[in-house]
Amino acid sequence: MTTRNDCLTRDAQDPLAPLRDQFDLPTGVIYLDGNSLGARPKASLARAQHVIAHEWGKDLIRSWNAAGWFDMPKRLGNRLAPLIGAADGEVVVTDSTSLNLFKALAAAIHLQAGHPERAARRVIVTERSNFPTDIYMAQGLSSWLDRGYSVRLVDSVDEIATAVDADTAVLMLTHVNYRTGHQHDMAALSALARQRGALALWDLAHSAGAVPVDLHGAGADFAVGCTYKYLNGGPGAPAFIWVPKRHQAGFTQPLSGWWGHAAPFAMAPDFAPTEGIGRALCGTQPIASLAMVECGLEIFEQTTMAAVRAKSLALTDLFIELVEARCGGHPLGLATPREHARRGSQVSFTHPHGYAVMAALIARGVIGDYREPGIMRFGFTPLYTSHADVWDAVEILKQILDDQAYDTAAERGAVT
Ligand SMILES: *Cc1c(COP(=O)(O)O)cnc(C)c1O
């Protein structure tokens, strides 16, 4: 079995190990929740201070031009693009993932409605196990449109194949499942959508910065995702939306705010969309928050997604191996695929007292999180997680389980 010394040897040979120094992690904490809120790049603090004290404090409104505030959604989008297989001018960092889903979904529906053979399609297919906001936004848009649109929920990949039919306008999927870490085959499912005349919309919330993504190569139609998870943009940092060049001319979305106008400072009374990805924008952005996204992206620019993926698989393999070897007598169930191609960058184990066990782990400095039903989630972020961290986390989990050192009556906070 792998020993702690083996882990230290792997850390010594790990090409990504030096990047950990670019994050500010509290001592005594093993942070396995970068899939929910990424750790803080050290540079974020100085960047935020500069934006607030200098750009806002000294230059005031001149900073919209002088500090490039107005162009930031596009500039950051271009820096993020290589991580997801997108081209220049196809991504903006803006708004929340929920809002970007709304915009992309509305645009996809509109494209289909204008297509001579697809205008009658009224169904959005997605998974029951999708992150709830994705389903809710689709339901909200469908019922609000009041034109017969509905959301069809499916329970398995096999069901997707039958559910996407001649009524389907959009196949809307999350690439890596937030609970289980299951990764879809984006190319195969996008091809399936295309063959059936549907458009494929992908949510990359648990993919961007976590696994290699090739949107163009996979033949996807639209994508959205978070920057505050694996991309380390900071709490509530603006999300992103990808519209490939081939769909930009036909892209219209109902949140037609002035930032998406062809000439925002002409202050014209009528909306006229700008050319290109700018039409995915709506209004004024939270500049301090947006600025910090850049600090996360700068760290990714010092490595490659191939290197990140290699280490991610090494860490998740190691965690599964050690939990199964050291905690084998306990009622733990692996909810994450063993197959590399189907795995994201997290490992989930079920336990009958999952919430209480996770609370005990957090009390001892091993920070993961909990999702219903009974799922303990452990996110592995290769930029700042070491092999020794994995070993130590499993040792603490083993002690908690062996000693039954968890309180099943513990009260739950509002956020689990
Ligand atoms: C985290 C996550 C979101 C979050 O959406 P917000 O609008 O940022 O709250 C949406 N979808 C998926 C799949 C997620 O994992």
The Å distance, Cα 346 to ligand 1 centre, comes to 16
The Å distance, Cα 98 to ligand 1 centre, comes to 6
Establish whether 300 is an annotated binding residue.
Answer: no
- Enumerate the β-bridge partners of residue 369: 377
The verdict on the CB of residue 369 being under 6 Å from ligand 1 is no
Say how many residues make up the chain: 416
Establish whether 340 is an annotated binding residue.
Answer: no
Contact assessment for residue 199 and residue 193, using Cβ atoms and an 8 Å cutoff: yes
Residue 31 phi, psi (nearest 5) = -95, 105
Q: Hey, whose CA ends up nearest to atom 14 of ligand 1?
A: 205
The verdict on the CB of residue 133 being under 6 Å from ligand 1 is yes
Can 203 be counted among the known catalytic residues?
yes
Q: Which two tokens stand for residue 386?
A: 């070491």
0.85 exceeded by the pTM? yes
Can 70 be counted among the known catalytic residues?
no
Nearest atom in ligand 1 to the alpha carbon of residue 174 is 13
The Å distance, Cα 203 to ligand 1 centre, comes to 8
Helix (H) or strand (E) holding 376: strand 375-379
Do domains 4-31+304-403 and 48-301 share one topology? The answer is no
Q: Hey, whose CA ends up nearest to atom 1 of ligand 1?
A: 205
The verdict on the CB of residue 205 being under 6 Å from ligand 1 is yes
- Enumerate the β-bridge partners of residue 24: 40
DSSP 273: B
Pocket test for ligand 1, best of 226, 230, 371, 415 (most atoms within 8 A of CB): 226
- Number of helices (H) and strands (E), helices first, in the chain? 14, 15
Under CATH, which number does the domain 4-31+304-403 receive? 3.90.1150.10
Pick the CATH number of 48-301 from 3.40.50.2300, 3.40.640.10, 3.90.1150.10, 3.90.420.10: 3.40.640.10
Establish whether 98 is an annotated binding residue.
Answer: yes
Cα torsion angle, 74, 76, 82, 85, sign: negative
Nearest atom in ligand 1 to the alpha carbon of residue 134 is 11
Establish whether 133 is an annotated binding residue.
Answer: yes
Place of tokens 């066990």: 357
Can 317 be counted among the known catalytic residues?
no
Domain boundaries, the chain: 4-31+304-403, 48-301
Alpha carbons 185 and 183: distance in angstroms, whole number:
7
Contact assessment for residue 279 and residue 92, using Cβ atoms and an 8 Å cutoff: no
The Å distance, Cα 100 to ligand 1 centre, comes to 10
Per-residue confidence in pLDDT tens, the chain, 416 aa: 899 999 999 999 999 999 999 999 999 999 999 999 999 999 999 999 999 999 999 999 999 999 999 999 999 999 999 999 999 999 999 999 999 999 999 999 999 999 999 999 999 999 999 999 999 999 999 999 999 999 999 999 999 999 999 999 999 999 999 999 999 999 999 999 999 999 999 999 999 999 999 999 999 999 999 999 999 999 999 999 999 999 999 999 999 999 999 999 999 999 999 999 999 999 999 999 999 999 999 999 999 999 999 999 999 999 999 999 999 999 999 999 999 999 999 999 999 999 999 999 999 999 999 999 999 999 999 999 999 999 999 999 999 999 999 988 877 888 87
Contact assessment for residue 112 and residue 170, using Cβ atoms and an 8 Å cutoff: yes
Nearest atom in ligand 1 to the alpha carbon of residue 131 is 13
